[in-house]
């Protein structure tokens, strides 16, 4: 997704209190959409009012790992879909920081996606919570401090996904084939399986048709499939449609 393209619901409603606060959290924003990062920075980054200090930003996986390692924030606001492997890859590469004895870095997913597999993927990767981009500014600030304190935070509807996935004593089953795909490739896979044309997918995901074609080629190669009909059968068999 380019910086010039705007996600339709990628906004954080206004509302943090303007009175000075005594609490403080250093935060890194990770999102591939520059205008969204700017909006979040303007909304929650008024440190004297919110207690949140934005100490860094990143637009892809490599940038995120570099900035997080350099700044060691208390909380990272992490988008699920990022160039370079997605939020799950950031979590994987930052695992030592999450388990550090002193000042562990905690992650809060902030995404437009409310898909169950996205939620479970980042929670399995070590994120402390998951909220959608329809959250108000006040609630986002509150969520940041709750995660900083070690609490788990979820948007109401998403909490059910986590409870269902981890209800049993056994670990959630892992689909090794599906895990080969990036988050964006999974999105494209799901839409292809639902019968969307490349142009429709491009419009829905705010990417170019050429990028859609590249993702489809990558999915077919990783899953060792020959065409979109085989891909549709594969996705249907796994109830991804």
- Tens of pLDDT, residue by residue over 87-138, are 999 999 999 999 888 889 999 999 988 887 888 888 888 999 999 988 999 9
pLDDT band at 171 (very low <50, low <70, confident <90, very high): very low
Q: pLDDT > 90: what percent of the chain?
A: 45
pLDDT of 224 strictly over 80? yes
How far is CA 211 from each of CA 1, 208, 218, rounded to the nearest angstrom? 9, 5, 11
3-state per-residue secondary structure call for the chain: CCCCCCCCCCCCECCCCCCCCCCCEEEEEECCCHHHHHHHHHHHCCHHHHCEEEEEEECCHHHHHHHHHHHCCCEEEECCCCCCCHHHHHHHHCHHHHCCCCCCCEEEEEECCCCHHHHHHHHHHCCCEEEECCCEHHHHHHHHHHHHCCCCEECHHHHHHHHHHCCCCCCCCCCHHHHCCCHHHHHHHHHHHCCCCHHHHHHHHCCCHHHHHHHHHHHHHHHCCCCHHHHHHHHHHCCCC
- CB neighbours of residue 154 within 10 Å: 21
Task: Indicate if the pLDDT at residue 4 is higher than 60.
Answer: no
Q: Is the pLDDT of residue 163 over 90?
A: no
- Which of 70-74, 170-174, 215-219 bottoms out in mean pLDDT, i.e. has the lowest? 170-174
The pLDDT assigned to 38 comes to 94
Please give the model's pTM, rounded to 2 decimal places.
Answer: 0.64
């Amino acid at each position: 997704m380019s910086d010039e393209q705007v996600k339709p619901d990628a906004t954080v409603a206004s509302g943090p209190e303007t009175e000075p606060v005594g609490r403080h959290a250093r935060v890194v924003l990770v999102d591939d959409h520059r205008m969204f990062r700017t909006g979040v920075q303007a909304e929650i980054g008024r440190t004297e009012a919110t207690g949140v200090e934005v100490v860094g930003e990143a637009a892809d996986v490599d940038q995120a790992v570099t900035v997080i390692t350099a700044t060691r924030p208390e909380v990272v606001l992490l988008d699920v879909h990022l160039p370079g492997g997605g939020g799950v890859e950031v979590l994987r590469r930052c695992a030592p920081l999450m388990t550090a004895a002193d000042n562990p870095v905690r992650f809060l997913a902030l995404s437009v996606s409310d898909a169950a597999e996205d939620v479970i993927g980042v929670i399995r990767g070590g994120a402390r919570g998951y909220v959608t981009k329809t959250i108000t500014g006040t609630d986002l600030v509150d969520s940041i401090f709750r995660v900083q304190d070690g609490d788990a935070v979820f948007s109401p509807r998403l909490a059910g996904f986590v409870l269902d996935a981890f209800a049993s004593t056994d670990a959630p089953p892992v689909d090794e084939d599906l895990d080969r795909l990036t988050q964006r490739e999974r999105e494209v896979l799901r839409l292809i399986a639902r019968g969307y044309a490349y142009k429709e997918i491009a419009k829905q995901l705010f990417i170019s048709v050429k990028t859609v074609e590249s993702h489809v080629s990558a999915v077919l190669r990783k899953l060792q499939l020959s065409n979109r009909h085989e891909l549709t059968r594969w996705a249907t068999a796994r109830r991804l449609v």
